[in-house]
Structure 1
Amino acid sequence: MNEDRVREDRVDGDWDRRFVAVRDAFAALLSDERPTENRKVGGTGDPAGSGRLEGAAETGASLAVWHRGRPVLDLVGGWRDTARSRPWTPDTLVNVYSVGKPVAALCLLLLVERGRIGLDDPVVRHWPGFRATGATVRHVLSHTAGLPVFPVPRPEQALGDWDLLAGDLADAEPVWAPGTVAAEHALTYGHLVGELVRRVDGRSIGRFLADEIAGPWRLDLHFGLAPADQARCADLGYGDPDWPVTILGTPGSLRARALGNPASCLDLAVLNGPLWRSAEVPAVNLHATAAGLARLYAGLLAGGELDGVRLFGAELVTELTRAQYVGDDLLLERPTQWTLGMQLEDDGSWGMGGIGGSVAWADPVRDYTFAYATRHLSGFDRVEWLVDVLHTCLDG
């Protein structure tokens, strides 16, 4: 990366001269100079696919891009809090919702790589008492296990009780026969994957991530934060006061039931507090930097090796990024291609978006990885604009 830097009121970072237009676009987001249309990206972010442009400007975010195996953009801007008293810095963490699902999947896939569990093993082989006896590890990873909803209504305090929620899933009857239907396991995914990691390895998924992936690859990615790391978190904020209602969709729908239990996963008072930040809810509470996410995907795009440290074999990376299910997703209510933890797009890119607008993916055709992490819970218009500018730089 060239030693071009910017230190302004809104933006700090490094960028390659070829991508100065992307830096300028990121700065413009923080000054409310934004485009006039919105297109949907990934996950559960825009249930209606409305294309509505949210009204408020970006308030705080980080952006990172690698191209051809090296970092070309590493930007931060805005503020960590509503009062605008704490600037966003390179070590600022933020909750990125479903962007964490592939990270959770990689923990289990590393055990697959090491031969300690098989993709087509029945879950019950490793999790005795698991009631959905037809479910395999592959079904769990590809959102086809038939367990998209925690079956017992639980209050917010249950977010910190791993054994309770994992036990609820072990006792649950699948909504559909495993392997027959896809429905994003919006909140249950992390406990299904994480309990398999714990049963096979003995460590929690947060500890496993820190020891086996984040540490070796030098990634600032976390499930379950210690107090010192909680102190560097950005506070989430709504882009629209109606955001939590809009995201839930139609009352009583599969989406509303999946995102609404346990309670308060969309409540700022919980999201910005120690219960949420210290808990491991791997489907939705990864705390990350964009730099860490882009670096993770760079290692995968390189075939499972980063800076001379190989975690995954190229064969497994090929399998984990291959479509495992193609068809309608009943929670997202649209056609989807699920890999082993990610969404595969028609252009060949693979990754995941989260409600609120954070995203991370790899594009093997253009040979880049992209990550955007934001505190401003809104749509994906910001990402779409940045990617349009990035593609202009790459294709021009």
Structure 2
Amino acid sequence: MAGADVRGTVAEGYEPVRDAFVRNLTERGETGAAVAVQRDGRPVVDLWAGTTDPEHPHTAPEWTQDTVVMLRSATKGLTAAVPHLLHQRGQLDLDAPVGHYWPEFKAAGKERVLVRHLLSHRAGLPALDTPLTPEQASDGATAPAALARQAPAWQPGTAHGYHPHTYGWLLAEVIRRATGRTAARFLAREIAEPLGLDLWLGLPDAARHRAARLAPVPAPEAARGGDLRIRPKRSLAEAYGDPESLTNRAFSAITPPPDENAPDYRAAGHPAAGGFGTARSLARFYSALLGRLPDAPRLFTPATLTQARSQESYGPDRVLVVTTRFGLGYMLHGPASPMLSAGSFGHPGRGGSLAFADPESGAAFAYTTNGMRKSVTSDPRAQALVRAVRECL
């Protein structure tokens, strides 16, 4: 996008982030996006630019400071906060068997699956034996029932593999069984509304006019090859292209692929990938996890913050086929998803988005985009911004 018209503000000393954002638009094929950075709860970067519809850039409205977009798997960081807060309040034991809250789940050898296994991608349930239609995936009942019947792909707790879709269905059902509330309702009432955040599991009707449309966009030659910086013997592309692989089956748990711009799908609020929000609100959310907001109470106690970002899974990922690091619900800084430092925790979204917190620097970062790339964990556009933030810090 030549001659990008970037709007927003940067604090003194953070100009390199604006420069990187401009280059994303002019050199890296960015279509519509926003980036926000907070330091100790204070906004230091708040930028946006581009179109709300990559397929119709000349007729669609421009991206504004209030544009929201589907976050894909960056949603997982929002959903993960719910069980941590419930644990903090004594309403959920992360070391309890899932079957304690969800008796039907004990079937097929899953009696010893713990709640923490769901959060750390160690449950052995990354794929469904029979994929769901988009309608079944959205009804709130079919997916949990299928997972309750299913046997794990490996002995739970002994290995890890990214659960792209099932992560959300599993956690949401545990939350519902433990509290009688949906994850979406808890997020809205206990987190988003008190903090004044434009963040939702499922796009509300009142915000539909503000939502950007997603579309696949090609990566310019100079930006290709930026995903997953470890080159395993078998590439992710090869694994994804094999219909019998665990990788392909995990990402194809919803078949045929849903239309992510369809109103019904947007409203469904898939707890693993169907969140909506602004970059500004995502950054404020992570600042709240750190307890750095001057105008709001902290979400996580120091003990909960340590719990969330302590390494639970590290090594070869049975789904992403590279080395990954996970805490409880959050991806951790590492070669597969570089953040700011070894202590950073958050979550990328397939296609480009990324949000995380860095306790050591007090920084919270969020990048959202509607131009979907094939990247799963490490998009070159997001990484250019992360490097610029690191330079400023």
Give the TM-score normalised by the residue count of structure 1: 0.85
> Is the Cα contact below 8 Å between 2:203 and 2:275 reproduced in 1?
no
**Matching of residue 263 in structure 1 with residue 255 in structure 2:** yes
1:92 match: 67
Q: CA RMSD in A?
A: 2.1
Q: What SS does the aligned partner of 2:84 have?
A: helix
Give the TM-score normalised by the residue count of structure 2: 0.86
Distance across 1 between alignment mates of 2:349 and 2:61: 24
1:47 match: none
Give 1:149-164 correspondences, 5 Å limit: 149-164=127-142
Q: What SS does the aligned partner of 1:309 have?
A: coil
Distance across 2 between alignment mates of 1:348 and 1:200: 30
Q: What SS does the aligned partner of 2:314 have?
A: strand
**Matching of residue 329 in structure 1 with residue 328 in structure 2:** no
1:112-144 CA distance string (max 9 Å, x none) = 111011011111111121122111111111111
Give 1:179-328 correspondences, 5 Å limit: 179-240=157-218, 248-265=240-257, 267=258, 270-302=259-291, 307-328=295-316
Distance across 2 between alignment mates of 1:359 and 1:220: 16
**CA apart distance, 1:299:** 1.5
**CA apart distance, 1:192:** 0.6
Q: What SS does the aligned partner of 1:360 have?
A: strand
How many matched pairs? 358
**CA apart distance, 1:310:** 3.4
**Matching of residue 28 in structure 1 with residue 23 in structure 2:** yes
**CA apart distance, 1:177:** 1.5
**CA apart distance, 1:161:** 1.2
**CA apart distance, 1:9:** 6.2
1:116 match: 91
2:102 match: 127
**Matching of residue 58 in structure 1 with residue 30 in structure 2:** yes
> Is the Cα contact below 8 Å between 1:93 and 1:287 reproduced in 2?
yes
1:298-327 CA distance string (max 9 Å, x none) = 112237x66232332211111111001222
Structure 1 stretch displaced more, 137-146 or 346-355: 346-355
Sequence identity, in percent? 39
1:254-300 CA distance string (max 9 Å, x none) = 111011121144x5xx1111121011211111112111111111112
Distance across 1 between alignment mates of 2:160 and 2:4: 45
1:189-235 CA distance string (max 9 Å, x none) = 01111111111111211111101111122221111222222222111
The one of 156, 169, 173 equivalent to 2:151 is 173
Q: What SS does the aligned partner of 2:22 have?
A: helix
> Is the Cα contact below 8 Å between 1:108 and 1:194 reproduced in 2?
no
Distance across 1 between alignment mates of 2:314 and 2:20: 34
Q: What SS does the aligned partner of 1:361 have?
A: strand
1:67 match: 39
The one of 362, 366, 379 equivalent to 2:357 is 362
1:80 match: 52
**CA apart distance, 1:65:** 0.4
1:72-131 CA distance string (max 9 Å, x none) = 001111010122221111221111211111211111111111101101111111112112
> Is the Cα contact below 8 Å between 2:38 and 2:45 reproduced in 1?
yes
Unaligned runs of 5+ in 2: 225-235, 335-341
**CA apart distance, 1:27:** 2.2
Equivalent AA in structure 1 for residue 215 of structure 2: G
Give 1:36-51 correspondences, 5 Å limit: none
